[in-house]
Amino acid sequence: MLSCGMSVAQPLPLDHAVGRAALRKASLRLIPLFALGYGIAYMDRVNISFASLQMNQDLHFSASIYGFGAGLFFLSYAACEVPSNLLLYRVGARRWFARIMFTWGLLAMGMTFVKTPVQFYVMRFLLGMAEAGFFPGVIFYLGQWFPQHMRARAISRFYIAYPISTVLMGAIAGLLLGLQGKARLAGWQWLFLIEGLPAILLSIVLLVYLPSGPEEAKWLTEEERQWILHHLRPSGPVDSHNINIGRALLDRRVWQISLVFLCMLGTIYAYTFSAPAIVQGLTGLSIRNVGFLVALMNLLGAPMMILNAMHSDRTKERYLHVAIPFLLITGGYLIAGLSVAPFLAVPALAMASISYFALQGPLLALAISFLHGKSAAAGIATMNTVGILGGFFGPLGMGLAKDFTGSYQRGLLMLIIPSAVAATTIFLMRSRCRQTNASL
């Protein structure tokens, strides 16, 4: 168990009809827009996993070159995340989100013209810079609209775009790679060219449509606007104990969750950027059918993300809802790494993917459960920055493993270590939390 408004004169209660109407409007008008944006961002971030099936051979990239370039995205992303959020606060959400999407759309399309390893490295690094700040910026933005007790649900509804986008990416990638030779372009070039365009189009929608905050939302009544503004005030840094950023950075739980994020993202991106090659090697399927199979495995993760989060909320328990999926991920990669039989390896990979999606909601809820105000901002930024570095080390390690062993599949055995470390860390946090509660 976890332990560890209207006018100021006459504020309306949290469950008042005005508040329910305001939050319903915000949910319907904002969350689908950001979910679409995050889905597009994720596809543009990892679509090289499918492009590599043709690109690496065409451009003579080794697995190490590919893994290093894939991971470079996350170095620039981590370095620019905090500056990006500061600029979002200064110039306004509407203009900054539109800028992010426009520049990353252009760079994603620019991957079409990559010819050398250096060009590949530069473009991936720039793409990370362009996208930096989108995800934490959305979390910050939603915090301006939804009171504390509703933010987990708002975030989960936005985050569901993650597994759905992987499904679309897998289904669409196979079709685009099939355009090989059309208009004298390779299939992987068509993939980058077409999948980068939606980000540019959505940037225009955001620039025209998105309010920078409740104050600018013309679709709210004045009464609804004041309700939102009033009930967000308690979430701000009011008390002095809420603004001790140093205290947040000295909290061991911040660094424990940071380690979990590092292991989680290192593991998932190591697998994600090589998943099509692994599945094709196991099954011998065509590129198109590999795309559909990967999409199917990720599709199964969407309902489990919702169900595990709902059960975690209902039982008010986070630790086991995170640790058990990590154990399943460990077992999945162990089986898939050792088995040569597709009927064993492919279900094991599906189990690992489903478990990864399932743990997201409870883990994010756990990460924000013990920090408040500016301490939360500092703590969450630390967790996310440390964690995102796993996106660099994971693909690089997988590429080196492939070049050393000759098989991406054997690289899966390397991933059981960070998965097991993450599970162990969560169990240790749970044990300490139970000891603390028992002493109260």
| Chosen domain end from 208, 235, 262 | 235
Q: Looking at the structure, tell me whether residues 230 and 248 fall in a common domain.
A: no
Q: Give the containing element (helix H, strand E) for 68.
A: helix 63-91
Q: Looking at the structure, tell me whether residues 133 and 223 fall in a common domain.
A: yes
pLDDT 10s digits, 257-313: 999 999 999 999 999 888 888 998 889 888 778 888 888 888 888 888 888 888 888
- What is d(CA 360, CA 187) in angstroms, rounded to the nearest whole number? 33
pLDDT 10s digits, 215-257: 888 888 888 888 888 777 544 443 444 445 566 677 888 899 9
CB atoms within 10 A of CB 57: 11
Out of 74-83, 95-104, 321-330, give the one with best mean pLDDT: 321-330
> Is 2 a domain residue?
no
- What is d(CA 289, CA 395) in angstroms, rounded to the nearest whole number? 24
> Is 3 a domain residue?
no
Q: Stretch 28-52: mean pLDDT, rounded?
A: 88
Residues 227 and 379: beta-carbon distance below 8 Å: no
pLDDT bin (cut points 50, 70, 90) of residue 5 is very low
Q: Looking at the structure, tell me whether residues 272 and 224 fall in a common domain.
A: no
Residues 48 and 42: beta-carbon distance below 8 Å: no
Q: Stretch 111-131: mean pLDDT, rounded?
A: 94
Q: Looking at the structure, tell me whether residues 184 and 263 fall in a common domain.
A: no
Q: Looking at the structure, tell me whether residues 433 and 300 fall in a common domain.
A: yes
pLDDT (0 to 100) of residue 438: 63
The torsion angle over the Cα atoms of residues 239, 244, 250 and 253, rounded to 10 degrees, is: 40
Q: Looking at the structure, tell me whether residues 244 and 136 fall in a common domain.
A: no
> Is 49 a domain residue?
yes
pLDDT (0 to 100) of residue 241: 42
Token pair in block for residue 25: 């409007």
pTM recorded for the entire structure: 0.76
Percent of the chain with pLDDT over 90: 32
Q: Looking at the structure, tell me whether residues 231 and 284 fall in a common domain.
A: no
Provide the residue type at 215 as one letter. E
Q: Looking at the structure, tell me whether residues 223 and 165 fall in a common domain.
A: yes
Q: Looking at the structure, tell me whether residues 205 and 290 fall in a common domain.
A: no
pLDDT 10s digits, 384-408: 888 888 888 888 888 888 888 888 8
Structural domains in the chain (count) = 2
pLDDT (0 to 100) of residue 242: 43
Provide the residue type at 121 as one letter. Y
Q: Looking at the structure, tell me whether residues 231 and 248 fall in a common domain.
A: no
pLDDT (0 to 100) of residue 2: 44
| Chosen domain end from 207, 235, 263 | 235
- Residue 243 sits in a domain of what CATH number? 1.20.1250.20
Query: What DSSP designation does 260 have?
Result: H
> Is 431 a domain residue?
yes
Confidence check: pLDDT of 7 > 60: no
Q: Give the containing element (helix H, strand E) for 334.
A: helix 319-338
pLDDT 10s digits, 166-225: 778 777 888 898 888 898 899 999 999 999 999 999 999 999 888 888 888 888 888 888
Confidence check: pLDDT of 148 > 70: no
| Chosen domain end from 194, 218, 235 | 235
pLDDT bin (cut points 50, 70, 90) of residue 345 is very high
pLDDT (0 to 100) of residue 263: 95
pLDDT (0 to 100) of residue 16: 64
Q: Stretch 143-166: mean pLDDT, rounded?
A: 74
- What is d(CA 178, CA 383) in angstroms, rounded to the nearest whole number? 40
Q: Looking at the structure, tell me whether residues 246 and 301 fall in a common domain.
A: yes
Q: Looking at the structure, tell me whether residues 215 and 260 fall in a common domain.
A: no
* Structural domain range at position 172: 9-235
